[in-house]
């Protein structure tokens, strides 16, 4: 699904995950080829709004659908709903025209009704597909976690599986809970963070939302990535039409709660889908370490720099560094590669860990077992290094890297890389986000890559 533009960045849909260009969708979405030999085209649906629809089409067409077939991609545009101006629910007038009612999107819960009315779900089921993944487009780490979460859904026979990460008490992220009604009915559901503490206090937990002995809240943080089993999903939407329970969340000017800061409207959230399910539905969650699953990009550089030290910045800077951290830790944990520890650097006023800049196309590996199979011997990568892997059958054997190595291979070729590789490498150069002479997608990160020297193997 598409989201509103990142504050301070005009084209969040265009924002590359990394400044090192390795990835096209073709390897992970256009055709998925895993160890079992299965190779299928995976359909992609993007929910847009009036604000993003035309730009999304232009982005896809100008980039040749990032390697996908155009027929794989469907855009479903949600309509807007009327806004309310006060507690008496008077309709709000559009500031640009007194003859027009102001409207805003109805919330991402509309994705369910749009999918139902599109007829796509039955087409997918008839084609042999069995799972639907819902994701929001600012979390670049998501696809690291999906294979394992999908395995959990399959092994546990979950109808609904919510991805989650460990959560600190009172952290501004919803918590996965099990609610029990007075009549004994239960429901596994997300509770928004601003509702969780008062809910706990009202139900026999006088301390409210506090950490347990693990140092984290007992209620994992919902990161709004869902895996639904397609058959039961179709059955449920046949009954409900995809309608999701609505709510209103006005922002008030002051504690008197008599005047809105801006108009509000009825909304719905896609993660509230389980609220309509019968008690027999299997609803669960999968908790992943945050380094593997969660690094959203939603704050502009100015706002991110104001975040208290030790808290996540959730910026383009931290989002890209999280990708390098995850890839470094994956090679360290799964492949036994000796990876140097990171150093601390400050970009756009944000102190972040800088790990080796390691990236690979998803066709190289999407699971730990694939990583293990493609790394052997004693391999090491220094902190200042950059490793770019572009191909499927690329094997690292006794590689010692101190600099930059780019490895390319065509689909059927097998490439073995080893020995000592040392050069001046690629350097991160700081840029100021206020410097308008620098492209926006670069300055919003706070650095550019100066490609001084590299070894390229084909």
Instruction: Judge if 323 and 450 occupy the same domain.
Output: yes
Do residues 209 and 217 make contact, with C-beta atoms less than 8 angstroms apart?
A: yes
Residue 90 in domain: no
Instruction: Judge if 125 and 230 occupy the same domain.
Output: yes
Instruction: Judge if 381 and 280 occupy the same domain.
Output: no
Instruction: Judge if 284 and 341 occupy the same domain.
Output: no
Instruction: Judge if 258 and 402 occupy the same domain.
Output: no
In this structure, the number of other CB atoms found within 10 A of the CB of residue 55 comes to 17
Per-residue pLDDT, 136: 83
Q: Which residue among 258, 292, 326 closes a domain?
A: 292
Residue 158 in domain: yes
In this structure, the number of other CB atoms found within 10 A of the CB of residue 189 comes to 21
Instruction: Judge if 285 and 309 occupy the same domain.
Output: no
Residue 35 in domain: no
Residue 393 backbone dihedrals phi, psi, to 5 degrees:
-95, 65
CATH number at residue 340: 2.160.10.30
CATH number at residue 114: 3.90.550.10
Do residues 19 and 10 make contact, with C-beta atoms less than 8 angstroms apart?
A: no
Residue 41 in domain: no
Per-residue confidence in pLDDT tens, the chain, 458 aa: 333 333 334 555 555 667 775 545 544 444 455 545 556 789 999 999 998 999 999 999 999 998 899 999 999 999 999 999 999 999 999 999 999 999 999 999 999 999 999 999 999 999 999 999 999 878 989 999 999 999 999 999 999 999 999 999 998 899 999 999 889 889 999 999 999 999 999 999 999 999 999 999 999 999 999 999 999 999 999 999 999 999 999 999 999 999 999 999 999 999 999 999 998 999 999 999 999 999 999 999 999 999 988 889 999 999 999 999 999 999 999 999 999 999 999 999 999 999 999 999 999 999 999 999 999 999 999 999 999 999 999 999 999 999 999 999 988 889 999 999 999 999 999 999 999 999 998 999 999 999 999 999 98
Strands 160-165 and 283-287: parallel
Residue 135 in domain: yes
Report the domain count for the chain.
Answer: 2
Residue 67 in domain: no
How far is Cα 184 from Cα 199, in angstroms, rounded to an integer? 18
Instruction: Judge if 269 and 311 occupy the same domain.
Output: no
Instruction: Judge if 372 and 443 occupy the same domain.
Output: yes
Residue 373 backbone dihedrals phi, psi, to 5 degrees:
-70, -25
Instruction: Judge if 280 and 307 occupy the same domain.
Output: no
Instruction: Judge if 275 and 412 occupy the same domain.
Output: no
Structural domain range at position 330: 301-456
Helices 230-240 and 110-118, packing angle to 10 deg: 100
Q: List Cβ neighbours of 444 (8 Å cut-off, separation of 6 or more).
A: 6, 8, 9, 15, 300, 301, 315, 316, 317, 348, 433
Residue 60 in domain: no
Q: Which residue among 263, 292, 321 closes a domain?
A: 292
Q: List Cβ neighbours of 215 (8 Å cut-off, separation of 6 or more).
A: none
Which residue, chain included where needed, has tokens 């009036």?
50
Q: Which residue among 292, 320, 355 closes a domain?
A: 292
Residue 3 in domain: no
The pair of three-digit structure tokens given for residue 153, joined into one six-digit string = 């859904």
Do residues 130 and 230 make contact, with C-beta atoms less than 8 angstroms apart?
A: yes
Task: Tell if the pTM clears 0.75, that is, is over it.
Answer: yes
Residue 292 DSSP SS3: helix
Per-residue pLDDT, 102: 96
Instruction: Judge if 287 and 393 occupy the same domain.
Output: no
How far is Cα 197 from Cα 171, in angstroms, rounded to an integer? 11
Instruction: Judge if 335 and 404 occupy the same domain.
Output: yes
Q: List Cβ neighbours of 184 (8 Å cut-off, separation of 6 or more).
A: none
Burial class (CB in 10 A: 0-12, 13-18, 19+), 368: middle
């Amino acid at each position: 699904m598409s989201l509103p533009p990142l504050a301070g960045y005009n084209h969040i849909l265009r924002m590359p995950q990394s400044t090192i260009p390795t990835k096209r969708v073709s390897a992970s979405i256009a055709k998925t080829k895993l160890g079992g030999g299965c190779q299928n085209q995976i359909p992609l649906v993007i929910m847009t709004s009036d604000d993003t629809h035309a730009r999304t089409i232009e982005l896809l067409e100008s980039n040749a659908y990032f390697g996908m077939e155009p027929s794989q991609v469907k855009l479903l545009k949600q309509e807007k709903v009327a806004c309310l101006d006060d507690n008496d629910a008077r309709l709000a007038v559009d500031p640009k025209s007194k003859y027009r009612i102001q409207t805003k999107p109805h919330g991402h819960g509309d994705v369910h009704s749009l999918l139902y009315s599109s007829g796509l779900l039955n087409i997918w089921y008839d084609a042999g597909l069995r799972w639907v993944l819902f994701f929001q487009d600012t979390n670049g780490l998501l696809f690291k976690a999906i294979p394992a979460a999908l395995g959990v859904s399959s092994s546990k026979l979950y109808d609904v599986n919510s991805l989650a990460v460990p959560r600190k008490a009172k952290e501004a992220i919803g918590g996965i809970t099990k609610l029990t009604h007075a009549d004994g009915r239960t429901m596994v559901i997300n509770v928004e963070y601003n509702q969780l503490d008062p809910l706990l206090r009202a139900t026999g937990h006088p301390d409210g939302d506090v950490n347990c002995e693990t140092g984290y809240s007992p209620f994992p943080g919902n990161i709004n990535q869902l895996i639904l089993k397609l058959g039961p999903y179709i059955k449920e939407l046949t009954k409900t039409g995809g309608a999701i329970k609505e709510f209103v969340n006005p922002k008030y000017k002051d504690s008197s709660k008599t005047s809105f800061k801006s108009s509000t409207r009825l909304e719905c959230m896609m993660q509230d889908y389980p609220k309509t399910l019968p008690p027999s539905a299997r609803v669960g969650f999968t908790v992943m370490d945050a380094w593997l699953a969660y690094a959203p990009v939603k704050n502009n550089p100015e706002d991110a720099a104001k975040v208290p030290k030790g808290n996540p910045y959730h910026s383009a800077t931290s989002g890209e560094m999280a990708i390098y951290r995850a890839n470094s830790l994956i090679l360290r944990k799964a492949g036994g590669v000796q990876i140097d520890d990171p150093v601390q650097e400050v970009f756009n006023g944000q102190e972040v860990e800088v790990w080796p800049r390691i990236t690979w196309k998803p066709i190289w590996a999407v699971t730990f077992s694939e990583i293990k199979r493609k790394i052997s011997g004693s391999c090491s990568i220094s902190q200042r290094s950059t490793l770019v892997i572009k191909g499927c059958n690329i094997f690292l054997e006794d590689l010692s890297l101190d600099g930059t190595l780019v490895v390319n291979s065509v689909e059927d070729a097998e490439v073995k890389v080893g020995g000592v590789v040392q050069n001046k490498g690629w350097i991160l150069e700081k840029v100021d986000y206020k410097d308008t002479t620098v492209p926006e997608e670069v300055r919003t990160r706070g650095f550019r890559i100066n490609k001084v020297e590299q070894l390229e193997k084909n």
